[in-house]
């Protein structure tokens, strides 16, 4: 049985905190906290919009979350600064283990897909910038359903697009909500615990495997 791996992109392959240095030149010492809040608000907006069935693309959630964060921290940005940040978000850096980890998994015979809240075009841009786009068989976006993770429908959509079943598919994500969403949909799931301080939600739905980075994933699946 060939195992299919569905990789979350933002926060798993791509570092959503990769603009802290750029932010420091705009908001000073608040940069790290500002960046975390921006990401938290971005995800909150996707959750709310999925529940409300009031869809906008992920990029719109990102921009609206930025505006909210600016207001929250009382750090207004000029139009050029705002545009520069949103443009830079399209080419956020990959984590250092991603290229090597994905290449090892591809060589081991796994079927690799990118599976994201971002549009296929936005994800392609990120993966191209990271130099890893060719390692994936395809990109599956929740944008196809005009919804977001962890709506159960988007996990079913992935299986249809990849020609896979939940029993032979693993979600790979650093986001606990995504891991739990996939497990609830009948998949297996690996949590990439990139920080020793990261916490998993205490819902009684543990990940199938936990790894510190992608280089450990093949062994965790086999074990």
Over residues 61-83, the pLDDT tens digits come to 999 999 999 999 999 999 999 99
172, 214 Cβ separation under 8 angstroms: yes
Q: Is 87 a catalytic residue?
A: no
What pLDDT was estimated at residue 146? Answer: 98
Going by C-beta distance under 8 Å and a sequence separation of 6 or more, which residues neighbour residue 201?
A: 176, 177, 180
Q: Does 20-89 match 4-15+93-222 at the fold level?
A: no
Return the sign of the alpha-carbon dihedral for residues 71, 43, 117, 104. Answer: positive
Over residues 182-206, the mean pLDDT reads 97
pLDDT of 1 above 70: no
Q: What's 4-15+93-222's CATH class?
A: alpha beta
CATH number for the region 20-89 comes to 1.10.150.240
Beta-bridge partners for 5: 112, 170
Summarised one tens digit per residue, pLDDT across range 120-169 is 999 999 999 999 999 999 999 999 999 999 999 999 999 999 999 999 99
Q: Which of 8, 97, 143, 178 is catalytic?
A: 8
Torsion of CA 96, 61, 192, 185, to 10 degrees: -140
200, 86 Cβ separation under 8 angstroms: no
158, 151 Cβ separation under 8 angstroms: no
Model pTM score: 0.96
Locate the domains of the chain by residue range.
Answer: 4-15+93-222, 20-89
Specify the pairing of strand 169-173 against strand 4-7.
Answer: parallel
């Amino acid at each position: 049985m060939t195992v299919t791996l569905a990789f979350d992109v933002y926060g798993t392959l791509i570092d959503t905190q990769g603009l802290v240095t750029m932010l420091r030149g705009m908001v000073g010492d608040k940069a790290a906290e500002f960046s975390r809040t921006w990401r938290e608000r971005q995800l909150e907006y996707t959750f709310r919009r999925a529940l409300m069935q009031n869809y906008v693309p992920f990029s719109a959630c990102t921009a609206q979350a930025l505006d909210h964060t600016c207001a929250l921290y009382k750090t207004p940005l000029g139009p050029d600064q705002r545009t520069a940040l949103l443009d830079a978000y399209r080419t956020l850096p990959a984590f250092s283990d991603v290229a090597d980890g994905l290449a090892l998994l591809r060589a081991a015979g796994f079927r690799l897909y990118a599976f994201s809240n971002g549009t296929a075009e936005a994800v392609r841009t990120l993966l191209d910038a990271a130099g890893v786009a060719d390692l994936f068989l395809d990109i599956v976006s929740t944008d196809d359903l005009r919804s977001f993770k962890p709506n159960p429908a988007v996990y079913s959509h992935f299986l249809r697009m990849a020609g896979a079943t939940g029993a032979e598919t693993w979600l790979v994500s650093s986001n606990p909500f995504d891991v739990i969403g996939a497990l609830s949909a009948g998949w297996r799931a690996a949590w990439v615990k990139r920080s020793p301080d990261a916490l998993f939600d205490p819902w009684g739905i543990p990940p199938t495997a936990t790894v510190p980075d992608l280089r450990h994933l093949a062994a965790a699946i086999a074990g």
